[in-house]
Structure 1
């Protein structure tokens, strides 16, 4: 899934929660919850992966040029979102074979 699709889904959910807050007369509480959810999601997506994931990246390296390009761009520290993109690229090329 691309980042744009995830952001669009997040915006749609934010709008839905906003209207739930308006209906329940709890706009301030809902917006605090929305802000905490967005902050948590951004934090998780941008945190560095564990050392075990670097071993997995090394096993994928050198097989497909598109995947190698993504790995080169992501190094030396790889975020969770970058790892997902690398895996998707690798699996797409693997399925084409």
Structure 2
């Protein structure tokens, strides 16, 4: 087995900085996905941006979704949706 050699302080600091950036980016991604869902985007639409459906749903649930509005829109018929969207356009 090779001998254990220490990590140079400069390398260790670089690794720690990269890890902190990764955690920050991960948190931002989760909040952005959940925000899109809470703003009415569908899971399918968010997955088209390159995130798996399971991950999108996980982030949504972790940050307060699905809302009652999302649930009701999921259960509405095509005709209900067309009527709602027409009403929104008139407003």
TM-score range, shorter chain: 0.3 to 0.5
**TM-score of the aligned structures, taking structure 2 as reference length:** 0.35
Larger radius of gyration: 2
- The structure with the largest helix share of the pair is 1
